[in-house]
Structure 1
Amino acid sequence: MRVRFLHIILLLFVVSNSFAQDKFNILGNKDSYALSFKMVNNLIIIPIEVNDVKLNFLLDTGVDNSLLINLKLEDSINLNNVEEIRLRGLGEGDHVSAVKSENNTFKLGKIFNDDHMVYAIQSENLNLSSRLGIDIHGIIGGDLFRDFIVEINYATQRVKFYNPDTYTYKDCRRCEDFELHFYKNKPYIYASVDVDKEIPVKLLIDSGGSDALWLFDESSLDISIPEKHFNDYLGRGLSGNVYGKRSKIKKIMLGTYILKDANVAYPNYNSIEKAYRHVERNGSLGSEILKRFRIVYDYPNKRLTIKKPSKYFKDPFLYNMSGIELMHNGSKMVKQRQSDLLKSNSEGSDRATVQMVYSYVYSLKPSYKIAELRKDSPAYQAGLQEDDIILEINGKASYNYKLQEITYLFSSKEGKKIKLLVERNGVTLNFEFKLKKLI
């Protein structure tokens, strides 16, 4: 089963940095190194050791510097040469406090940097773990992409890092090359979209955004919100929630590749005011589209290559028809019955007696609650509320689902009946609704 999206929007901020010694290298002077990753709701999660502590990082082209976010006590690490600063990013909120730390050791398998700068942020706005259902301790992007040529294969869930000094391009008939343009150290490409007419757009390449496409309607007179749309929560940024409108776009063109009937979101201006500082930017290209290709990022030579479509290329663009945005609500103790067969032979007899013996074990299972509820959605009209804890989905205990599996279920088929058993203020309640398309 493939999960198409989760509305996670990551911060976009710029800070000064010196790259004189802060550089990633492959141990043994190797020409390349490959690393497996987990793909959760289109997003790339890679393991990194920070000062000898094993953590999970989101690989995000939409950020410049490395970040540590919402570390818990058990994740505590020693950070070197710290300095308190303030940062601001996407979302309807104010600046947040952070710690700038230098001279840290980062290890990604055989990739090594013993003098890395990182920003540590303790903000509930960036609690990605609860939204993805997997522990996320940090975000890394530009720092890695600047030092390597990076090839991402979403189909095999492998990322390969090449030494730019020894990498050679091969002839490729099915490849599309794009020039990378950089603003504040972040990568942009030119593409075309067709709403009522075909128009050129400049898009941030945002592998840390799980949506397909964002367009800024106030960035161009040619970009307007379609008549068929609905208001929705788009995600969380460093400075708070991001809201906007969702719709469909006729097609998006990346060279000769054409993607039809793609999802598009139009974030509200007050949620992304900072993004408008780059006056030429028209939006973002997210991982719901990026995952449909095998991509080579060549920051040193300002080049991006789409090598060929991946197995996800023809997947339909789905969206959440329930109106429910779930989040991980910690864990709960669950009593489960297990059985064992006991066999015994009666004295003086060839016959065996088989007895079923039951025992009970307790284990920790995930709990989910409603974090956001779209007004006038099927779930809203059925009477569900924010902070309702989901106990069962269509008669199956919710802890038997992964978070992304529930997201897919809510996006699967118009008219599908959803039955929920929830807990609200200590009382269990039953609700029922049908998924409904809005666009």
Structure 2
Amino acid sequence: MLIRLFHTIKRAIQIRAALYFTVLLLSLCCWHSIANAQYFDLKDNRKHVTVPFKMIRDMIVIQVNINNKGPFNFILDTGVGLMLITDPKLVDSINIVNKRTLKINGIGDGEAYEAYVTSALDIQIRGLKSYDVAAAILKTDHFGLSNYAGIPIHGLLGYEFFNNLAVKIEFSDSTLSVSKAKDIRLYKKGTKIPMTVQDRKPYIHTKVTYTDGSKVDAKLVLDLGAGHALSLENAIVKHGLPSKFIAANLGLGLTGPVSGFLGRVKELDIGKFKIPNVITSFPQGDQYKGLAVKRDGNLGIGILKRFSVIIDYPDSAVYLKQGPDFTRPFEHDMSGLEYYGAGEDLNRIVISRVEPGSPADEIGLEKDDEILAINLKPVKNMTLEQIDNLFKSQNDRSLLLEVYHDKKKDEVVLTLKRRI
């Protein structure tokens, strides 16, 4: 469930992405009728395989070949119950012949989307072999993940990658170590957290302490594809909002925008680990009614990247070891800007939304303005993640922006403000 607990993706022709982005992917309506024993295994009787990944805007991106074509960039996402190809052009490039159409329902306001369902594909990942792995292919690219990431993104890979193997994720060196559960090298100082897999997604139990001091148990999806730290779906009705919060577009579900608020909880407890002042999304409305599994929210990569992680579906466990970023404070965007990569090389930075009352709004920046340089450095020489980090770097920090605004170039000083 790719949530980026920051904000919105809106759509015109290009994606309107935010500094924290959310794509909520839920179960596909006829998944169970098309998916039987779809999994990956190690080639050539190997015990361990190392798969490199790139960390891009809090997304784990691996390279995949399909039907001997590629490589293609796929986001690894435990919140996805079916391999999803988001780039419709792959229908032709990977020579898919047998396919049928289904409707995809999800979270958000709007109509369901149409997608093709393929027959089994030959998915090639370094050292791994796929067995009967099918996919859904969106007929229209509703998400614009390439614009959001600043590199071509072709789809999402979830349950099938994890269901037969144990996967160790080392964020410090951007590698996955994949093995059979019996062969996984456990952490000497790691902590085992019980996990259940329901409706093709992993769940763990945690404790959440709200800012008023109340502490509650929370069943959360362990969601690698969620770029936020924490999302609590029922909190507004049960506990209200924290004293300090901002209204936000939390992302784009399969059928439309997901609205709500951003704030903090006092503490999140996972096993023996206590994590303070966690930035949290609080969705509003009844967008989560009717889910197959009752839950309280999801735990995203904003938390998980603070650990070394082993996800072990076969033995129903996740192992956590404190990483070098464990104590780093949580920070949110301090500019009020949402933006995406545009142009043939995705290296033009176009503003998709300006939060009302934010620092960017106060200096007159507007939707469709283009950012040309930050502190005299052209943005074409920067990644989107580097720009993200600048905009959440320090309260009261001033940045010089060169922008294309009102049909002319202009220079403005943007002073960052911590808003939550």
TM-score normalised over the length of structure 1 = 0.85
Q: What's the secondary structure of 2:119's corresponding residue? A: strand
Q: Distance in 1 between matches of 2:252 and 2:172?
A: 27
Equivalent runs, 1:31-50 vs 2, <5 Å: 31-50=47-66
> Distance in 1 between the 2:340 and 2:157 partners?
23
Counterpart of 2:264 in structure 1 is 248
* Among 272, 295, 298, the residue aligned to 1:281: 295
Matches within 5 A, 1:149-168: 149-164=166-181, 166-167=182-183
- CA–CA separation in structure 2 for the residues paired with 1:145 and 1:73: 23
Structure with larger RCO (C-alpha < 8 A, sep 6+): 2
Counterpart residue number, 1:83: 100
CA separation in 2, counterparts of 1:153 and 1:205?
A: 16
Find the counterpart in structure 1 of residue 15 from structure 2. Answer: none
**2:358 alignment partner, one of 356, 377, 401:** 377
Mapped partners of 1:100, 1:38: distance in 2: 28
Match of 2:225 in 1: 208
**Deviation for aligned residue 1:291:** 0.7
For residues 95-114 of structure 1, the aligned pairs below 5 Å read: 95-113=112-130
Listed one character per residue, the Cα deviations across residues 57-77 of structure 1 (whole Å, up to 9, x for unaligned) are 000011111010024479832
CA distance in 1, matches of 2:102, 2:35: 19
Which structure has the larger Rg over C-alpha atoms? Answer: 1
**3-state SS of paired residue (1:328):** strand
Does the 8 Å CA contact 2:150/2:346 hold for their aligned counterparts? no
Displacement, 1:202?
A: 0.5
Gapped runs of 5+ residues in structure 1? 332-363
The one-letter code sitting in structure 2 at the alignment partner of 1:8 is T
Q: How does 1:1-400 map to 2 (within 5 A)?
A: 6-14=20-28, 15-20=31-36, 22-53=38-69, 54-72=71-89, 76-113=93-130, 115-164=132-181, 166-167=182-183, 174-195=189-210, 196=212, 197-217=214-234, 221=238, 223-270=239-286, 272-274=287-289, 277-278=291-292, 280-306=294-320, 308-331=321-344, 366-400=347-381
Q: Distance in 2 between matches of 1:403 and 1:74?
A: 28
Report the 3-state secondary structure (helix = DSSP H, G, I; strand = E; otherwise coil) of the residue aligned with 1:277.
coil
State the distance in 1 between where 2:37 and 2:292 align. Answer: 29
| Structure 2, unpaired ranges of 5+ | 1-5, 7-18
Report the more deviating stretch, 209-218 or 21-30. Answer: 21-30
Secondary structure class of the residue paired with 2:268: strand
Query: Which whole-Å CA distance do the structure 2 matches of 1:400 and 1:160 have between them?
Result: 32
For 2:397, give the aligned amino acid: K
Deviations 1:1-29 (A, max 9, x none): xxx97323331223224554533221112
> Displacement of 1:111 after TM fit?
0.6
Structure 1 residues 128, 375: closer, same or farther in 2, change over 3 A? same
Q: Which amino acid aligns with 2:354?
A: L
Residue aligning to 2:410 = 429
Partner amino acid, structure 1, of 2:208: V
Distance (whole Å) between structure 2 residues aligned to residue 264 and residue 194 of structure 1: 12
What amino acid is aligned across from residue 170 of structure 2 in structure 1? N
User: 1:163 offset after TM fit, Å?
Assistant: 1.9
How many pairs does the alignment contain?
398
Q: Residues 184, 73 of structure 1: CA spacing in aligned structure 2 closer, same or farther, 3 A cutoff?
A: closer
Structure 1 pair 377/107, CA: closer, same or farther in 2 (3 Å)? same
Name the amino acid aligned to 1:386.
K
TM superposition shift of 1:124: 4.0
C-alpha distance in structure 1 between counterparts of 2:236 and 2:316, whole Å: 24
Matched, 1:408 2:408: no
- How has the CA–CA distance of structure 1 residues 152 and 17 changed in structure 2, closer, same or farther, with 3 Å as cutoff? farther
Name the CA distance, whole Å, in 1 between partners of 2:79 and 2:165: 16
Structure 1 residue ranges (4+ consecutive) displaced by more than 6 angstroms after TM superposition = none
How well do the aligned residues superpose, as a CA RMSD in angstroms?
A: 2.2
Looking at structure 1, the residues matched to 334 and 305 of structure 2 have their Cα atoms a distance apart, in angstroms, of 22
Q: TM-score, normalised by structure 2?
A: 0.89
The AA in structure 2 aligned to 1:436 is K
**Partners of 2:60 and 2:184 in 1: how far apart?**
25
Equivalent position amino acid for 1:78 in 2: N
- Note if contact 1:251-1:259 (Cα within 8 Å) is conserved in structure 2: yes
1:318 aligns to what SS in structure 2? Answer: coil
Shift of 1:173: 5.3
Q: Partners of 1:75 and 1:381 in 2: how far apart?
A: 47
Contact 1:125–1:239 under 8 Å retained in 2: no
The answer on whether the counterparts of 2:396 and 2:417 sit within 8 Å (CA) in structure 1 is yes
Q: Structure 1, residues 30-57: CA drift from partner, whole Å, max 9, x if none?
A: 1221111101122210001011121010
Query: Percent identity of the aligned residues?
Result: 29
8 Å CA contact 1:9–1:210 kept in 2: the answer is no
